[in-house]
Amino acid sequence: MMSDRALHSLRDIEGVYGSFIIDANGETVARDLPALFDDQTLTDSGERIIRLWEVLSEEGAPEYALLEFAEYSLFVRGVFLSSAARPGLAANLTLSESAAPGCLCVVVPPTVNLLALRLASKWVAREAPRFPAAS
C-alpha cells in the first residue's frame, strides 16, 4: 500500500487533511494521510465506513456522504477498484465485470469547499480502478 498521486491531488483543495481508499472489506488499498492516522485506525474505521455506505446505497447509490464530526468531517464516495487479482476472474473481463466496489474517504475541515471536493473526488474515482482491491 502506498501513497498515490491521484490521492495527493485532493490536497489541491484548500484545507484537505488527506484521503484513503478502502475496498469492499474495509481494507485500506491506498492512503495519503498524515501519520496521525495509523493503519489500525483505518482498519477499525474502514469496515464501518463500508457498512455505512452499503446501508446508504440500499435505495440507490449516493453521489457522496459527508459525515460531520466535532473535530473534522469525512467525505465518502463510492469507487470501483480493480479486482483483477481476484481468483477465478478471466483476464479479458471488461472493467464493469471485474470491478470491485470500494470507497474513497477524504478527511476535510468543516469549511471545505464541497463543490470543488465533489469534482476533485470524481476525478480520483475515475482513477480508482488502477488500485487493486486488497482481497
Partner 1 sequence: MSLTDLVRLQAMTDASGVFLVVSGERSGLLHFVQGQLLHAETRDLRGDPAALEILGWAEGDFIRSERPPSGAATVASPLDSLLAQALGITGLSSSSRSMAATGVRRRSEARDVAPELAERNPSSTRDLRAAATPGIAAAPAPRRSSKLPEGRALASALVSPLGDLVEGRGDGADALATRVAYVARLSEVIGQAMGSGETRALRVRYADSELAIHPRSDGHVYGCSVAPEAH
Span from 58-66, 80-88, 93-101, 124-132 in contact with partner 1 (CB under 8 A) = 58-66
The site string for partner 1 over 60-99 (x = CB under 8 A, - otherwise) reads xxxxxxxxxxxxxxx-------------------------
Q: Interface with partner 1 includes 39 (CB under 8 A)?
A: no
Please answer whether residues 18 and 34 qualify as being in contact, where contact means their C-beta atoms are separated by less than 8 angstroms: yes
CA 132 to chain centre: 12
Q: Determine which residue in the list 51, 86, 126, 130 makes contact with partner 1, applying CB under 8 A.
A: 51
Please answer whether residues 21 and 79 qualify as being in contact, where contact means their C-beta atoms are separated by less than 8 angstroms: yes
Q: Interface with partner 1 includes 17 (CB under 8 A)?
A: yes
Please answer whether residues 83 and 133 qualify as being in contact, where contact means their C-beta atoms are separated by less than 8 angstroms: yes
Output 38 or 97, the one with its CB closest to partner 1. Answer: 38
Please answer whether residues 115 and 64 qualify as being in contact, where contact means their C-beta atoms are separated by less than 8 angstroms: no
Which residue matches cell numbers 463543490?
115
Output 6 or 107, the one with its CB closest to partner 1. Answer: 107
